[in-house]
Structures are given as structure tokens and as C-alpha cells.
Chains A and B, each alone.
Chain A
Amino acid sequence: MKKMMCGAVAWLAMAFGLNAAEMKMAVTTSFHNSGLSEVLLPAIKRDLGLEVHLLIVGTGQALRLGAAGDVDAILVHSRKAEEAFLAEGNGTYRREIMYNDFVFVGPGSDQAGIRGAANAVQALRQIAGVKAPFVSRGDDSGTHKKELSLWLEAGLQADGFDSWYRAVGAGMGTALNTAAAMDAYVMSDRASWLNFGNKRGLELLYAGDPVLFNQYAYIPVNPDKHGHVKHDMAIALEGWLVSDTAKELINGYQINGEGLFVFNAQPR
């Protein structure tokens, strides 16, 4: 009994195992939900011997984490917010890595008829026109910001909408769960949608407008502002992310036979 107690205490006292070569990167929920990280991280570990710990948050929080120096790099998709982040001296520069696209998902009955919409903005106008239930992320994430900018382009004010517009203030998965439960329309990144396990009556209704393309960029946190960040590792990781190995893995990644990401990093 006593021995067991001693053993238990020793087990608790052991440092929670951490590796020497490791860094923290904040990524968006949409990136993680795609499953691509499960392909890239083992390859990064193999090639660089680097353990990348992912913090899966919305773009808004990812940028906050970077600004506070709580992570070493961020991988996000909201250009305007990224530029503001750089302007405040929080990161060194942004490097475009790849893009995927957003899709409109909704009930199979498609009461707003967006299946045949001419473009993304038109689709939103139709949804607003019939006041079909629409779930918004409402969490200041890249996806949310994109959605708001599309409503603006459609000449509509999202904060003036009635109860048909439901901001859930949560990640993509939760938003999709909510939409599935309420037979609502929702804008999702394609990867989250394809990987989502609880589709119920939801179907992919509209996609393909170039305005829906979603550019991911990598930003190392500024080591001049935060001396403790692992800048060398952040640079090593960037080198890997723009390499041919990464290109093959990213372009070759598929779910149900569909490609998700297009690698578009420019060599410098």
C-alpha cells in the first residue's frame, strides 16, 4: 500500500514529458478540421526533427496569441487582419502557403434556391430575401470575417438581421452541428464540410466563385518584440512549408477523392 502510494506520487511528480525541439503554432479550426495537419506534422517531425504543437483556435484568437508572444508562429487566413497584425509589429512578414475554398451548405430542400445562383453574393441575397435560417460563426474567425465581407458586398448589414440569422459564436464544427439541427444555411470551408460527420439533411449547395477562395498565410512571431519565441524553429518550419515535399503533400491531400488545398507559395 505504502509502496503504491509512493509510486503514484513519483508518477505525478515526474515532469510532464516535453521534447527539446518543439514549437507552438496557432492554426485555425478550419485548417485542423481538414485533417491536413495529420499528414504534415509527422512529415515535419521526420524531416526537421521538430515537434509542432498546434493550438486550434479561430483566426481572431490566433492573432491575439501571436501578439502576446504565447506562440512562435501562426497559420491563418484573413488577409486584412494579418496585415494589421504585421503593422503592429507582432510578426516579421506573411508568407502565402496555400489556399482552399469556402462553400455554402444548406438543407437539401434549398428554399432560397441558391443552387443556381450566379455568384456567392447573389446566393446570400437570396437567403436574406426569403429569410431562410442562416448560421454564422460569429466568433471573429477568418471564416466569420469572410462571411461578413460577403454580406457587405451584397449590400446588407449582418448586424441588422432578424432572428433568422443566428451567430453561434463557436468553431466550424459547432456551427455545422447547429445548422444540421436547424436545417439552416451555413458558410463553411470545404475541408470542414467534407470531414464533418453529422451531415443529416445538409448538402453542399453552392461553391466555385473565386471570391470564395481562402488564402492561408504563415507568419512567424516577431522575435524583436518577444525575445523568448523560437524564431529559428519558426524559420525552419517556414522553409519546410514552402518546400517541394510540402507542395506534394498539400496538393495530393484528398478527402473522398476530392483535392482540398492548392499550394501557391512563391519562392523568394
Chain B
Amino acid sequence: MGELWEGMRQAVWLVVTLDPDLVEISLRSLRVTLSALLIASMIALPLAAVLTVQRFRFRRLTVATLNALMGLPPVVVGLIVYIILSRGGPLGVLGLLFTPWAMVIAQVVIIVPLIASVAHQSLRELWSEYHDLLISLSTTKRQRIAALLWDGRRALLTAALAGFGRAIGEVGAIMIVGGNIEHVTRVLTTAIVLETGKGDFALALALGFILIAMAIVINFAIHNLSRTETEGRW
């Protein structure tokens, strides 16, 4: 118990004094994860919409695969991305290994299936309501996808936030591809692993509390900005 209190005390202290290292790694955590989230959303949301409106032969299989990939073990993703980005690997010439971009790539791979699956779930329900209307207006596929994405934006936000939550708390993959280099690829989760290894549980816990607090604040902020739960149905 003593360690928990000490952790909370240190967390408060680090935040109040705006510890420069803490600010740096927190901002880096945010940047890496928000970059990954942006890229992943640009891939996953259109993908979910296409899977909703487009009928093709392997649609069910694709959806089932996406669902299954939600449980992709991050450490395996990390290892594969590592091997691909390593100098001996196919993309080695880019020199991306042990840079923040490597972490972004790993996180994108991890959260695309999650965002796409959750988004597809909600778009499918929306589509069953919109189907007759959009067909009778003889809209093009592109217009249907745009309508679904726009009208389903609140649900899609939830999907994106789920992705954010998974990415920001992830450690297995980014430890491998980022290398936890101080001032370059050290983020909150990898710093926690490092401090635990040093036996400094209080500091590790403090970082953990800050990570949780950050995830909550970001969620609140986004909900607030998009005024979910305040305007009628949407």
C-alpha cells in the first residue's frame, strides 16, 4: 500500500512541478499515438464504410478476419515490424527502426482492425436504416459512403477512441521497434517498464497514473469538442 500512496504523491508532484522529462515523454506519447490514430482512422473508417455498402464475394470472410485481428498480439506486430524495418529487412533502407515513425507504424497495424471492426458494427446498423432511402435516391457508392461516414460520425468517434486507448497504453510492440531511447523514442509506457526494472516502483506508478489521467482527459476533451451526449440523438 505504501508504494501506491508514494506513487500517487510523486505523480501529483511531477505534474505540479511540470517535470521537464515528464512533459517531454508525455507529449511524445501523445504525438506518436495521435499520429497513429489519424493514419489508422484514414484507413479504417473508409474501409468499414466500403465493407458496409459494398457486396462482394469475400465480404464475410474479410469482416470475420478484421474481427479476429482485433486480438492481434502487439508483441508479434512489433517483432514483424522490427524485422521489416531492420537494415536487413525489406524496408531497411528507410532507416526507420528505432525512430518514432517505427512506433507509429506498429500502432497503426495494431489499431486499424480494431477501429475498422467497431466502426463497421455501427455503420451496418445505420446502413440498414439508410439503405432504402439511399438506394431510392439512386446515389452513387461514393455518396453512400460519404453519407454513412458523416451521419455515423459520433459512433465512429467511439471507434477511434477505442483505438486511441489501445495505442496509448501499448508497450510490447513499441518497446521492440522504438527501443526506448531517451529523448527519441521513450514514451510513458516504455518509461514505466524501465523504472519498474530499476525497482523504482513509485516513479513507475506515478507515470502510470499520469498515463491513465491523460487517456481520460483526451477522451473527455474529444467528447466535449464534438458535443456527444448533448444534442438529441446524435
Q: Which residues of A contact B (CB under 8 A)?
A: 1, 8-9, 11-12, 16, 18, 24, 29, 33, 53-57, 68-70, 170-174, 176-177, 180, 195-199, 226, 228
Q: Which of B95-103, B106-114, B116-124, B131-139 contacts A (4 or more CB under 8 A)?
A: B95-103
Tell yes or no: B182 within 8 A of A by CB.
yes
Beta-carbon contact of A174 and B197 below 8 Å: yes
For A29, the chain B residues whose CB sits under 8 A away are 197
Residue on B nearest A171 in the bound complex, by CB: B197
Distance of B218 from chain A, by nearest CB (Å): 11
- Against A, the Cβ 8 Å flags (1 = close, 0 = not) of B70-109 are 0000000000000000111000000101111100000000
For B99, the chain A residues whose CB sits under 8 A away are 16, 18
Beta-carbon contact of A9 and B38 below 8 Å: yes
Distance of B171 from chain A, by nearest CB (Å): 14
Beta-carbon contact of A176 and B199 below 8 Å: yes
A–B complex contacts, Cβ < 8 Å, 20 sampled: A1-B225, A9-B38, A18-B99, A29-B197, A53-B98, A53-B182, A54-B181, A56-B179, A57-B179, A68-B86, A68-B88, A70-B87, A70-B97, A70-B98, A195-B198, A196-B199, A197-B198, A198-B201, A199-B199, A226-B87
- A12 interface neighbour in B34, B98, B179, B198, Cβ under 8 Å: B34
Tell yes or no: B151 within 8 A of A by CB.
no
Beta-carbon contact of B225 and A69 below 8 Å: no
Beta-carbon contact of A228 and B197 below 8 Å: no
4 closest Cβ pairs, A-B complex: A173-B197, A198-B199, A197-B199, A69-B87
Contact count band on B = 20 to 34
- B182 interface neighbour in A54, A196, A198, A228, Cβ under 8 Å: A54
Beta-carbon contact of B87 and A11 below 8 Å: no
Tell yes or no: B184 within 8 A of A by CB.
yes
For B200, the chain A residues whose CB sits under 8 A away are 197-198
- B87 interface neighbour in A9, A18, A68, A171, Cβ under 8 Å: A68
For A57, the chain B residues whose CB sits under 8 A away are 179
Distance of A144 from chain B, by nearest CB (Å): 15
- B100 interface neighbour in A16, A171, A228, Cβ under 8 Å: A16
Q: Which residues of B contact A (CB under 8 A)?
A: 28, 31, 34-35, 38, 86-88, 95, 97-101, 179-184, 194, 196-201, 225
Residue on A nearest B178 in the bound complex, by CB: A55
In the assembly, what is the distance between CA of A140 and CA of B45, in Å? 43
Beta-carbon contact of A70 and B197 below 8 Å: no
Distance of B6 from chain A, by nearest CB (Å): 11
- B181 interface neighbour in A8, A11, A55, A176, Cβ under 8 Å: A55
In the assembly, what is the distance between CA of A20 and CA of B199, in Å? 35
Distance of B174 from chain A, by nearest CB (Å): 13
Distance of B222 from chain A, by nearest CB (Å): 11
Residue on A nearest B182 in the bound complex, by CB: A54
